[in-house]
């Protein structure tokens, strides 16, 4: 059965690979990105409330049902990129799409039995020491102003894992509630490691942080490819994954397993108030 999916960050990287894979399976994909282009049906800035509203309205103008959402748009925490912008795009942009398209996800689940959202987390949430806790706490309180203020206090490289941990934890906390799982909408996330995208190339070129990209070990001896992340995303959206709710699937070539052989544990970042 052909379904309708929405993918943000659809113009490049994991978003583009996911959109292409879904289309290859015969589905309709509505692409969102910052600028118009091939595969982009809705151009909007997810870093602002106005842009998020425009993105949701744009999708709603194109379809009454959304069987799945992949909010893949994101910014890396690197030199010259403000931390407050990172948290606004990565966390609040993604969550706003899920909330804004909830009526269309609910309609798809009611009509066809299932709908899903797959967030893009990151293995940096367990693999990077010392990331900023107050930022993720503000995210989970749904306080963007406070999150941006906290993020602005530290280098954006320490904000990126905060934004991604927020997505993984939000999916677990919210996903089991009546308005999500109870309505037939499954929330999950994937946690990629370094994946050969434009974002990773930008990080490699960073004069201060570039060396860290290839420093983490992998069991497979290489970085990932976008389609290797797209495939598990497509599975989590599929009818084959209808019993999976609140999962965070590491797709990182074994990096997290090498760092944490018994369980995916975080570094000592202090007590975290999940709100």
By annotation, the residues acting in catalysis are 160
Q: What are phi and psi of 30, to 5 degrees?
A: -100, 115
Let me know: does 169 contact 187? Beta carbons within 8 Å.
no
**Nearest to 103, CA basis, from 41, 170, 140, 57:** 57
Let me know: does 156 contact 82? Beta carbons within 8 Å.
yes
- Count of positions (residues) in the chain: 275
Residue 80: which residues within 8 A CB-CB, separation 6 or more? none
- Measured distance CA(187)–CA(180) in Å, rounded: 7
Q: Where does residue 209 rank: exposed (0-12), middle (13-18), buried (19+ CB within 10 A)?
A: middle
Strand partners, 251: 192
**How far is Cα of residue 157 from the mean position of the Cα atoms in its chain?**
17
């Amino acid at each position: 059965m052909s379904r309708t999916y929405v993918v943000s960050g659809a113009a490049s990287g994991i978003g583009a690979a996911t959109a292409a894979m879904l289309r290859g399976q015969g589905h309709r994909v509505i692409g969102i990105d910052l600028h118009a282009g091939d595969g982009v049906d809705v151009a909007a800035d997810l870093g602002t409330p106005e842009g998020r509203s425009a993105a949701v309205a744009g999708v709603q103008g194109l379809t009454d049902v959304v069987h799945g959402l992949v909010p893949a748009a994101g910014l890396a925490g690197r030199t010259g990129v403000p931390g407050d912008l990172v948290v606004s795009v990565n966390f609040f942009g993604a969550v706003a799409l899920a909330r804004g398209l909830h009526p269309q996800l609910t309609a798809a689940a009611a009509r066809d039995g299932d709908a899903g959202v797959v967030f893009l987390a990151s293995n940096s949430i367990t693999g990077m020491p010392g990331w900023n806790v107050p930022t993720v706490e503000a995210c989970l309180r749904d306080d963007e102003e406070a999150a941006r203020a906290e993020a602005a206090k530290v280098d954006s490289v320490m904000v990126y894992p905060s934004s991604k941990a927020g997505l993984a934890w939000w999916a677990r906390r919210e996903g089991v509630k009546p308005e999500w799982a109870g309505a037939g909408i499954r929330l999950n996330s994937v946690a990629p490691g370094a994946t050969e995208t434009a974002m990773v190339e930008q990080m490699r070129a960073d004069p201060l942080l570039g060396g860290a990209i290839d420093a983490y070990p992998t069991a497979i001896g290489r970085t990932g490819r976008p389609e290797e992340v797209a495939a598990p995303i497509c599975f989590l959206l599929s009818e084959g994954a209808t019993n999976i709710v609140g999962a965070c699937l590491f797709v990182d070539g074994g990096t997290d397993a090498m760092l944490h052989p018994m369980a995916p544990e975080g570094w000592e970042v202090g007590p975290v108030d999940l709100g």
